[in-house]
Amino acid sequence: MTRIRALILTGYGINCEEELAAAYRLAGADSDRVHFGRLLSNAIDLSPYRIINLPGGFAFGDELGAGKVLANRIRARKDPAGMTMLEHLVRFVESGGRVVGICNGFQVLVNLGLLPNVGGEYAQEVSLAANLSGRFEDRWCRVTPTPNAPMPGVEALGPLELPVRHGEGRVVFRDDAIRQAVVDRSLNVLTYASEDGGVADAYPENPNGSELACAALCDPTGRVFGMMPHPEAYLSFYNHPDWARRKRQAMAVPEGGDGLRFFRTLIGTAAAG
């Protein structure tokens, strides 16, 4: 079977590309790390790829708000044929490709209007605002899948433990109609959860104060996905801060971390079309 090939974009302050490349390698896919400038200049043939990744980091230093500058470049930059990079991404998704944004990449996708895109017009419907705590949050959290979300395979993963590290991760919907559409269509793919599995409405289980306790969104096709937690940071059981106690209490040590399970699911669904 042909191995899935993923494009990982880097540059301009993105800094999680190495971990993301490791995630794909360990999960059984190939990846290429390419500077974002090559995408913006239309110097990349997207046809060999099934997944385009916008990793975490601090694109352009988040000077005008997280992900805003990079999103504006993607929306405005045109190739010699007059197509914007946003239009190229839309075509990629329409042809069956996946676009995945993690943390800063999620912020870019929201600013582009690729998420959640309930109106289908690629207009910004959601903002990722400053954390209600008023500070950068670097902690582990629990997230749980939303039943019947259109992103294949995620519901079967069950609860996940993943780290967050962001200062602007609070999901805020533009209006009540968009919030309700997200709920009705189960586009809030992952929600922050408390230790007993319930929805985490309060800090610190909800690390940023997101509406709907939303940790991740997908679009109605299920092929565009963004999340604030970092699955690429939990690929090994030994990445977890509590690994030593858990190892003493368990007879068997898991093969990998929850993030590795996430990427194996993502690759499997991309391979299935």
- What CATH number does residue 150 fall under? 3.40.50.880
Q: Which domain holds residue 167?
A: 5-272
CB-based contact 27:4 (threshold 8 Å): no
One of 137, 166, 230, 240 is an active-site residue; which one?
Answer: 230
> Which pTM value belongs to this model?
0.95
Strands of 36-95 (E only): list them: 51-54
- What pLDDT does residue 254 have? 84
Helix (H) or strand (E) holding 173: strand 170-173
Question: Is 240 one of the catalytic residues?
Answer: no
Cβ atoms of 51 and 270 within 8 Å: the answer is yes
Burial-class residue 139 by CB neighbours within 10 Å (0-12, 13-18, 19+). Answer: exposed
Number of residues in the chain: 273
pLDDT attached to residue 6? 98
Domain count, the chain: 1
Q: What are the residues whose beta carbons fall under 8 Å from the beta carbon of 121, sequence distance 6 or more?
A: 113
Q: Rounded CA gap, 1 and 13, in Å?
A: 35
- Catalytic, out of 16, 218, 232, 240: 232
- Say what the pLDDT of residue 189 is: 97
- Tokens encoding 41: 């200049």
Catalytic status, residue 232: yes
Q: How far is CA 270 from CA 76, 102, 120, in A?
A: 28, 17, 22
Residue 10 makes CB contacts below 8 A (sequence gap 6+) with: 17, 33, 34, 35, 36, 55
Q: Which of 103, 141, 214, 218 is catalytic?
A: 103
Averaged in consecutive runs of 10 residues, what is the pLDDT profile of the chain (273 residues)?
89 94 97 92 89 93 80 89 91 96 97 97 96 96 96 92 96 98 98 93 95 98 97 96 91 88 95 81
Residue 273 has a pLDDT of 75
